[in-house]
Structure 1
């Protein structure tokens, strides 16, 4: 078992118990970490209930808009003052509305929005939350990081491949992965490592509202050499990055998708 006793972790992106970020937060807690979670107003009660249910101290949990540098600074500084230097940061935040992602909802007769018509302002807000926020978080956190700290984000293979119903979010994930590379280089003198997990499709609350997701899960089950994944598979890999086992690994895009990414064609399971 990885021993993270006395380590301090900040986790951004927990919405509910189906969130990948929550599985990672729980594994960090179970490994001995002192974990501080951020939340948004609409999920406050659910996040605080989950923390109570699983014995995670909610003293330093806070409502944070990752677009607001002042809020981020206040949150990270409060964690630093209360718990000590920050060893681990998970950036599990992403958002794109229906116009950005170009999906139709299950049961709807309305066609999916057109990729050519993605509204610029919507895309920029999505980029701000889903990609640029990693840069902003690292800028804010830099003075409060422990020696050899680890920063991890969550990406998706739509950064490199076409996935209908993800569209503009693919732009954000491509940008996010590039930000990971540059941050990994930037932090060389501090020994801080920055990596990303490219997770396979997990049936989170957000994914469940996209038309065609269940078909993609069915396809993944037979196409990926190891089949579909769940949030726990991502959490297990995250724990590697949130430990000394990965102390010389940085700038890595680590696929946890059952091998789906290596396949050139879909495998027909019928």
Structure 2
């Protein structure tokens, strides 16, 4: 087991028990970290329940809108003053409306919204939450980081390839990856490392509401050399970045998708 006793870990993006960010938070706690979690208004009860069940200190949980720098600052200052410098920070936040992602709802006979008709205001809001928030959070956290701190964000292969039903969110993931790369260079003086995990399709609550997602999981089972992944697979990989083992790794996009990203066509067994 990786040794993280008394390290301070801040996790943005836990929605419920199926969240990738929750699996990472649990693994960080099991490795010895003290955990601080953000939540939004409609996830407060679920997040606090999970923390209490897991034996995490709920006094270091707070409602944070990642579009609001003041709220981010209040949360991180509370962590810094109450626990100490921040060693690890997970950016697991993403949001895109149905109009941005261009998907139809399961069971609906209505066609999916058109990519050409993505509303600019909706796209900018999803960009603000899903991509720019990484820059905003790092700006606030910069003076609060411990020596050798590590930041990790979660991306998806739709940044590079076409996944109908993800559409505008692919724009956000491409931007997120670019922001990560520039931050990796920016933090050279303070020796803070920043990386991204490109996760395979995980059946989170959000993913389950997209029409065709189960078909994509079936395709992944056939295509990826190692098959589909789950949140635990992502959490295992994240722990490498949230440890001294990755002390000289920064600006990396680490695929944890069973090898789906290397394939050009589904494998037919021949």
> Which category of TM-score, normalised to the shorter sequence, fits these structures?
over 0.9
Tell me how far 1:131 sits from its aligned partner.
0.1
The CA distance in 2 between the partners of 1:253 and 1:137, in whole Å, is 19
The CA distance in 1 between the partners of 2:87 and 2:118, in whole Å, is 38
Q: In structure 2, what is the equivalent of residue 42 of structure 1?
A: 42
Q: In structure 2, what is the equivalent of residue 255 of structure 1?
A: 255
Q: In structure 2, what is the equivalent of residue 32 of structure 1?
A: 32
- Residue 187 of structure 2 aligns to a residue whose secondary structure is helix
Q: In structure 2, what is the equivalent of residue 79 of structure 1?
A: 79
- Residue 189 of structure 2 aligns to a residue whose secondary structure is helix
The CA distance in 1 between the partners of 2:241 and 2:146, in whole Å, is 15
Q: In structure 2, what is the equivalent of residue 216 of structure 1?
A: 216
Match runs of 1:232-247 below 5 Å: 232-247=232-247
The CA distance in 2 between the partners of 1:268 and 1:137, in whole Å, is 44
Tell me how far 1:255 sits from its aligned partner.
0.1
The CA distance in 2 between the partners of 1:206 and 1:89, in whole Å, is 22
How many residues in Structure 1 have an aligned counterpart in Structure 2? Answer: 270
* 1:36/1:60 contact within 8 Å kept: yes
The CA distance in 2 between the partners of 1:142 and 1:43, in whole Å, is 27
* 1:130/1:176 contact within 8 Å kept: yes
* 1:219/1:267 contact within 8 Å kept: no
Q: List per-residue Cα deviations over 1:81-127 (Å, max 9, x = no partner).
A: 00000000000000000000000011000000000000000000000
The CA distance in 2 between the partners of 1:152 and 1:189, in whole Å, is 18
TM-score, structure 1 as length reference: 0.99
Structure 2 unaligned blocks of 5 or more: none
* 1:156/1:198 contact within 8 Å kept: yes
- Residue 164 of structure 2 aligns to a residue whose secondary structure is coil
* 1:224/1:260 contact within 8 Å kept: yes
Q: List per-residue Cα deviations over 1:3-36 (Å, max 9, x = no partner).
A: 1001000000000000000000000001000000
The CA distance in 2 between the partners of 1:266 and 1:157, in whole Å, is 16
Match runs of 1:186-205 below 5 Å: 186-205=186-205
The CA distance in 2 between the partners of 1:35 and 1:194, in whole Å, is 19
Structure 1 unaligned blocks of 5 or more: none
Q: In structure 2, what is the equivalent of residue 115 of structure 1?
A: 115
Q: Residue 210 and residue 52 in structure 1: after superposition, are their counterparts in 2 closer, same or farther (change >3 A)? A: same
- Residue 190 of structure 1 aligns to a residue whose secondary structure is coil
Tell me how far 1:267 sits from its aligned partner.
2.5
The CA distance in 2 between the partners of 1:176 and 1:19, in whole Å, is 19
TM-score, structure 2 as length reference: 0.99
- Residue 104 of structure 2 aligns to a residue whose secondary structure is coil
Tell me how far 1:222 sits from its aligned partner.
1.2
Match runs of 1:20-169 below 5 Å: 20-169=20-169
* 1:94/1:130 contact within 8 Å kept: yes
The CA distance in 2 between the partners of 1:123 and 1:102, in whole Å, is 11
Tell me how far 1:268 sits from its aligned partner.
4.1
The CA distance in 2 between the partners of 1:249 and 1:40, in whole Å, is 31
